[in-house]
Amino acid sequence: MAELSGNQILAKSLKHEGVSTLFFLSGGPMDEFYLQVQKVGIRLIDARHEQAAAMMAHAWSRTTGEPGICAACSGPGTTNLVTGIVTAFTDACPVIALGGSSNSRLTGWEDFQEIDQVSIMRPITKWSAQCNSADRLPEFVSMAFRKCWGNRPGPVYIDLPGDVLHQKVEEANVHFPINSRTESRPLGDPAAIKEAIKLLSQAERPLVLTGTGIFWSKAWKELQEFVEASGIPFYTTPQSRGVIPEDHDLCFLAARSLAFREADVALVIGTRVNWIWQYMQAPRFAADMKTIQVNLDREEIGHNRAADVGIVGDAKMVLQQLIAEAKEQGLANKKDSPWIDKLRAKDASNNERNEPLLNSDQMPMHPLRMMKEIRDFLPRDAMLVVDGHETLNFGRQSIPTYYPGHRINSGASGCMGVGLPFGIATALANPDKKTLVIHGDGSFGINAINIDTAVRHNIPVVCIVNVNGGWAAGRTGDDVLETGIDLGFEQRYDKLGEALGAHGEYVEKPEDIKPALERAFASGKPAIINIVTERFAGSVTQNFQPYEH
């Protein structure tokens, strides 16, 4: 019988697990592996930096619901993955990273690019291990898929020494695991379900707070059914927006601060109690608010805030239980309560406050006017990526999302530079939809060269660069440090795109945004639209994590 190399076995293992796309940057000892990946029919997308490859894998996962796969060469290639892997780790996103490494038989000899990559990856992954024998590669790949999904999702890392990749093994001795994963969905404790509905029945000002556990569990239909049956308003983390359409009658995005501050009971499903919710501590949330926490990961129950009712279980299954128990107990619908009236009024008044800026004709244009033009252009099912600081906040305030998995940003890590890599993978995974990236000019520069990746692979992602002068937006006078903060307005990012083969547009007037977007998408090419906005326009947002001085 024929022999197989470790490279062949690794490629076949990925194919066996259903992998369709791999994001990478070439280099030893992985080059032969990439050739074998092509031979088994897996699509290769090469980034211009390994960080971007990891970010592309992240976005692939976020928009498809399946693990994203990235790979890099040894030493600096693998360490360059780190920022992208950290972003996936803090975002609880299943990514499988493969890193080539120096020969295992030369460990300790200071071999070429020898470094302990397993230890570097261990604190930022759910599992980090080196495979030391080619015949075990299928086992390691199967293990990676199990571990990236187990309990809370997250990235994993497999270290691949060059001698293992080139090792020859008799084909008869290579076994690809079958039935190694389960789709089992644990139910919540029935007694806790009853107690949760009892608490919600007694509540006068209840809320539902959700995170991406709803997305990974595909529980958006159950969530909407429960919200509508109970009449309880809902709020989501930034990454889970769209699990219920944001033009829903119980969605009051502009009343968020009031809702959090005055809620008396919160049903928290499939989300961690971290800085995004400001740890659910006072004064952001009432100190005496009752909390019902639902999470697949037992360790998250009671983290940062005590749970009056803790339910360990899958979001989809627990919501089904809550719906059934609500019918059993006769949970009254709160849609016409004074609580809803108060939130609706606050939502309307706060939205009205932004209307002058959304419709302003000032020059340079206000970023909210830019966002309004984008909002009015985009179809409901558009895929949207937003990256930056002020740009991210303005987009959050003005552009709604209507479908799950249709909007992503850096998530809990707050990493800038994700926009273009995220957009490339999103467009690749969703060729039937428009994919738009809205970047700040500062954040765009971090991974801008990857427009070349989009061009070479014919991925028609459209990227808007909000040119507000750099990192100085919202600052005036003595608060502006010129070096390192002020990028100015002379850069022509559209020309950069054109130089690399993309479509380019330059816009200064609000009325020119829609035609520029129409031309960009009609081009069928990757595109960069350079839009000049007011330098000192600052967004208003909750100060989630103040620095101490």
Identify whether residues 159 and 209 lie together within a single domain.
no
Residue 542 belongs to some domain of the structure: no
- What CATH number is associated with residue 518? 3.40.50.970
Summarised one tens digit per residue, pLDDT across range 246-304 is: 999 999 999 999 999 999 999 999 999 998 899 999 999 999 999 999 999 999 999 99
Residue 185 belongs to some domain of the structure: no
Q: Give the pLDDT mean for 183-191.
A: 91
Is 482 in contact with 469 (CB distance < 8 Å)? Answer: no
Identify whether residues 380 and 336 lie together within a single domain.
no
Residue 485 belongs to some domain of the structure: yes
Identify whether residues 51 and 12 lie together within a single domain.
yes
Burial 175-186 (b: 16+ CB within 10 A, else e): ebbeeeeeeeee
For residue 421, cis peptide bond before it (omega within 30 degrees of 0): no
Identify whether residues 371 and 306 lie together within a single domain.
no
C-alpha 421: how far from chain center: 11
Please give the tally of structural domains in the chain: 3
Identify whether residues 448 and 493 lie together within a single domain.
yes
The residue assigned the tokens 């299943």 is 94
With 0-12 / 13-18 / 19 or more C-beta atoms within 10 angstroms meaning exposed / middle / buried, residue 302 is middle
Among 343, 370, 396, residue at a domain's last position: 343
Identify whether residues 314 and 431 lie together within a single domain.
no
Identify whether residues 315 and 386 lie together within a single domain.
no
Query: How far apart are alpha carbons 334 and 228 in whole angstroms?
Result: 9
User: Mean pLDDT in the chain?
Assistant: 92
Residue 549 belongs to some domain of the structure: no
Identify whether residues 55 and 153 lie together within a single domain.
yes
Burial 310-330 (b: 16+ CB within 10 A, else e): bbbbbbbbbbbbbbebbeeee
Identify whether residues 367 and 513 lie together within a single domain.
yes
Higher pLDDT, 103 or 13: 13
Residue 546 belongs to some domain of the structure: no
Summarised one tens digit per residue, pLDDT across range 212-235 is: 999 999 999 999 999 999 999 999
- What CATH number is associated with residue 299? 3.40.50.1220
Q: Give the pLDDT mean for 177-206.
A: 92
Query: How far apart are alpha carbons 398 and 384 in whole angstroms?
Result: 13
Q: Give the pLDDT mean for 8-16.
A: 97
3-state secondary structure of 447: coil
Identify whether residues 321 and 365 lie together within a single domain.
no
Query: In sequence order, what are the beta bridge partners of 24?
Result: 46, 71
Alpha-carbon torsion angle 431, 390, 497, 430, nearest 10: 0
Count of residues making up the chain = 549
Residue 80 belongs to some domain of the structure: yes
Query: In sequence order, what are the beta bridge partners of 443?
Result: none
Q: Which helix (H) or strand (E) holds 156?
A: strand 156-161
Identify whether residues 315 and 425 lie together within a single domain.
no
Predicted pLDDT of residue 275 = 87
Summarised one tens digit per residue, pLDDT across range 424-438 is: 999 999 999 999 999
Tokens of 499: 């130089």
For residue 159, report the phi and psi dihedrals to the nearest 5 degrees.
Answer: -90, 135
Residue 354 belongs to some domain of the structure: no
Identify whether residues 526 and 409 lie together within a single domain.
yes
Domain range for 201 is 190-343
Residues 6+ apart with CB under 8 A from 461: 420, 423, 424, 426, 427, 435, 436, 437, 454, 526, 527
Tell me the pTM: 0.94
Residue 178 belongs to some domain of the structure: no
Q: Identify which of 150, 103, 106, 142 has the alpha carbon closest to the alpha carbon of residue 125.
A: 150
Q: Identify which of 511, 497, 517 has the alpha carbon closest to the alpha carbon of residue 435.
A: 517
